[in-house]
């Protein structure tokens, strides 16, 4: 079993707690053996950078959702590299409201 310095244990303990991995049935001992692999497994590759920026990493459920949504992104990029929006742009539809005059209440109607 490898030995770790107090600094290393404290550093990874902070990451482990911030990522809430205990709720995912990951023991701290198993996390400490290969923390990067476990973070990658849960979709939390950026947890350390996020924490260094002063924020908490995503919750495990949020990280799973992000991974799922990221899986859709390549389908949204065209062959030319142009990004295609996930939903169509809103366009004005003609309807009954188009025939209603717009009144500017600050002026008298003509």
Regarding predicted confidence, which is higher, 79 or 54? 54
The answer to whether residue 19 is domain-embedded is yes
pLDDT digits (tens, 9 = 90+) for 8-36: 999 999 999 999 999 999 999 999 999 99
Predicted confidence (pLDDT) at residue 106 exceeds the cutoff of 60: no
The answer to whether residue 20 is domain-embedded is yes
Q: In this predicted structure, what is the pLDDT of residue 96? A: 58
The answer to whether residue 104 is domain-embedded is no
End-to-end CA distance of the chain, in Å?
Answer: 88
Task: Supply the range of the domain harboring residue 34.
Answer: 6-76
Q: How far does CA 101 lie from the centroid of its chain?
A: 44
Instruction: Among 48-52, 73-77, 81-85, name the most confident range.
Output: 48-52
The answer to whether residue 107 is domain-embedded is no
Q: Two tokens at 86?
A: 């996930």
The answer to whether residue 109 is domain-embedded is no
Q: In this predicted structure, what is the pLDDT of residue 46? A: 94
Per-residue pLDDT averaged across 51-65, rounded?
A: 95
Helices (H), the chain: 6-18, 28-33, 35-41, 47-52, 60-72
Structurally, how many domains does the chain consist of? 1
Predicted confidence (pLDDT) at residue 100 exceeds the cutoff of 80: no
What is the phi/psi pair of residue 56, to 5°? -90, 145
Residue corresponding to tokens 């244990």: 9
Q: Is the pTM of this model over 0.85?
A: no
The answer to whether residue 103 is domain-embedded is no
SS3 label, residue 61: helix
The answer to whether residue 66 is domain-embedded is yes
Predicted confidence (pLDDT) at residue 74 exceeds the cutoff of 80: no
- Per-residue burial over 90-107, b if 16 or more Cβ lie within 10 Å, else e, is eeeeeeeeeeeeeeeeee
The answer to whether residue 23 is domain-embedded is yes
């Amino acid at each position: 079993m490898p030995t770790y310095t107090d600094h290393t244990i404290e550093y990874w303990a902070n990451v482990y707690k911030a990522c809430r991995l205990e709720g995912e049935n990951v023991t701290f001992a198993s996390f400490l053996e290969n923390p990067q692999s476990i973070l990658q497994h849960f979709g939390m590759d950026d947890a350390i950078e996020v924490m260094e920026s002063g924020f908490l990493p995503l919750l495990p459920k949020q990280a799973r959702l992000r991974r799922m949504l990221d899986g859709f992104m390549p389908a949204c990029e065209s062959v030319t590299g142009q990004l295609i929006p996930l939903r169509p742009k809103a366009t004005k539809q003609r309807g009954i409201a188009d025939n209603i005059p717009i009144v500017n209440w600050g002026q008298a109607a003509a």
